[in-house]
Chains A and B, each alone.
With several copies, the nearest count.
Chain A
Amino acid sequence: MELIAAKKVIIITEALMEQQVLSLLKAQGAEAYTVIRNLTGQGVRGVRSGQCLAGFCENVRIELIVKEEAQAKALMEAVYNKFLAEKYAGIAYLEDVRILHHGKI
């Protein structure tokens, strides 16, 4: 079976923004993703300890595997410009992966 080189984009941001970030990613053409909720963390925008009411200080992690580096970058930049640049806490990074080919990317 064949492993295909691909890029995994990871976005960690405020839990409250999950729906909006996913909407933007879909608008940018992303069709597949995985979400992990209830993360905590710390970054330049303070501690996000999960201890505020209503999930206010929790993070969420969205990961998307895409084939081309260009697309990966486009997704990251879109999210960065709209959300992470100024207004909301979060980071975006990229990893090299190799995925079992079955039409998933």
Chain B
Amino acid sequence: MWEMVLAGLFAPPILFFVLGMVSVFVKSDLHIPPAMGTAMVIFLMASIGITGGAAAIESLKADPALIGVIVAIALLAMFLGPFFAFMTGTLFKKFMRTADAWACAGHYGAVSSATVALGVALASEAQAANPAAQIFAGWMPAVYPFMDSSALIAAIVLGRMALINEQGGGEKADIKKVLHLTVFGMGVWVLVTALFIGMLSAVYSPGELSRALLFFDGMFRGIICLFMLEMGLAAAKQIGALKELGKHAVKALLYAFALPQVWGLVGILGAYAIHLAMPGKLFWGDAFVFATLAGGCSFVTAPAAMRANMPEANPSVYLPMAVALTFPFNVLIGMPMWMIVSQILWGAA
């Protein structure tokens, strides 16, 4: 197993992430043009979506009862999002300003698309390295919006209520706008619609789809490297902002490290419970990707949602916590751990 962890830690995407971080420390002028960053996000989300959609149809054809598992996972996601947000907010408000605590709650409840993308990359690699076994079916990222929207809405509603209690006034949360932002925000939107594209094509145009998938699959394993390079740059650039956390820095650091690990494990256990109830339909790769949905800390949708709906919260608290602490820790510690735990539960380790 030790070898597998090493293989994971020295996989090209992880090393490119480290390269990105080091580039900032040594003050290299390496930078990813924003257009290139956006292009990579669009590609990755489209690729995850279309591949997942095609996989879903294939799996459903083989076993129509899978739909029950998918619904169960979606419901679980919809419950876990707000649950994570509530727990995070409750824990954080003990040492943070109310607004900051609930803004962080939204981030830790919501989904991080970069984390999911890396999770999918690792699960797909595991599947590719071992084609005989059933490891990862690809449809899992489809439940993304269920967890994401519900978590952000919960955090904002709870946060605004807390602020009203505290200050007796302030903004009103615009739930409709938050829902819109999370469902129609670039990342989720491309993922979900590409999922439908994959499903529709798989049914009506399988020949064309299979040729398109050659492109998406082949590119994915390379683009994820360059994307992780960008993430490494972004993470390291936010480290400086951590000093704004001031005297609570140590506490914030501990939570930023520990919480996602727990949320990820809760995700795995939830998936495992569904697996026990409806056996033979979920595999360790699926559980692992669900852990990356649960354990990731959003840093694209959540910051935008919070800046608009909790302007009282300080972006210099939540941005660096999500980008500079939780994401690197998840990449380097959380994901290997979630992978091992999933494998152990499914008896694959």
Direct A–B touching in the complex (beta carbon < 8 Å)? yes
Q: Which residues of A contact B (CB under 8 A)?
A: 14, 16, 46, 49, 51-56, 86-88
Does B237 sit within 8 A of A, measured CB to CB? yes
CB neighbours (8 Å) of A51 from chain B are: 234, 237
Contact A52 B234 (CB under 8 A): yes
Interface mask (B300-320 → A, CB under 8 Å = 1, otherwise 0): 100110011001100110010
Does B34 sit within 8 A of A, measured CB to CB? yes
Q: Could you jot down 16 A-B contacts, CB within 8 Å?
A: A14-B307, A16-B304, A16-B308, A49-B237, A52-B234, A52-B237, A52-B303, A53-B37, A53-B299, A53-B300, A53-B323, A54-B300, A56-B303, A56-B307, A86-B311, A87-B311
The 3 closest A-B pairs by CB, nearest first: A87-B311, A51-B237, A54-B300
Most chain B CB inside 10 Å of its own CB: which residue of A16, A51, A54, A56: A54
Does B238 sit within 8 A of A, measured CB to CB? yes
CB neighbours (8 Å) of A16 from chain B are: 304, 307-308
Contact B304 A54 (CB under 8 A): yes
CB neighbours (8 Å) of A52 from chain B are: 234, 237-238, 303, 319, 323
Contact B311 A88 (CB under 8 A): yes
Q: How far is the CA of A37 from the CA of B308 in the complex (A)?
A: 19
Q: Which residue of B lies closest to A16 (CB)?
A: B307
Q: How far is the CA of A87 from the CA of B299 in the complex (A)?
A: 20
CB neighbours (8 Å) of B323 from chain A are: 52-53
Q: Which residue of A lies closest to B310 (CB)?
A: A87
Checking A14, A55, A56, A87 against B312 with a beta-carbon cut-off of 8 angstroms, the contacting residue is: A87
Given the known interface contacts A16-B307, A53-B323, the answer about A46 and B234 at a Cβ–Cβ threshold of 8 Å is no
